[in-house]
Structure formats: C-alpha cells, structure tokens
Amino acid sequence: MKKLESDEIELRKKLIEKEMELQYVTWKNERLTSGMELEKMECDQWKKAEEAAASMLSDSGGDTSNNCEGKYVENTMELQSVMRQNESLRSEIEKMKSEKKN
C-alpha cells in the first residue's frame, strides 16, 4: 500500500513539473511570437520608408510635377550651409581655447 502511495506522489510531482514546463514553454512561445510580429511591423515600416526615399530620388520619366527633384538639391545645399557655419564656429572655439592656454 505504501509503495502505491509513494508512486502516486511521485507521479503527481512529475505531472506538476510537466505542467509548469508547459506553461513556461507556452509563455516563451507567446513572447517570441509577439517579438516576431513587432519585427515584421518594423521591417514593413523600413521598407515603406525605403520605397518613399527611392521614389523621391528617382526621376518620374521627365515629369517633374510629382517628384522632389529640386527639393533634394535644395536640402543638400542647406545642409552644406549649416556644415560651413559649424566649421566656422569650431575654428573660433579652437582659437579661443588656444588663446586661453597662452
């Protein structure tokens, strides 16, 4: 009789362990699935952004009414202007630092 009770207790322990293992695997599977869904969504967003950028930079067969051909050049020129200003400021700061040391 005691052997039977001890076997039953052992089986219940194993059952509880397996149930806990199943819960953990299920939880982990749900996390991985949601992570994959998030990655897919981000990938789709990057793909749309890449397509939009390619569309902006490409020529639409000579029709410039719908593309941003001029904007690209304008934005590049603005960036170059800002970079020149930063270089000017940087040289002034370096000059002030060297004067401070002397």
Tens digit of each residue's pLDDT (9 = 90 or more) over 14-27: 999 999 999 999 99
pLDDT tens figures, 57-92: 775 544 545 555 555 555 555 666 766 777 777 777
Give pTM, 2 decimals: 0.42
**Angle at alpha carbon of residue 42, lines to 41 and 43, rounded to 5°:** 90
Q: Distances from the Cα of 84 to the Cαs of 15, 75, 79, 94, 97, in angstroms?
A: 72, 14, 9, 15, 20
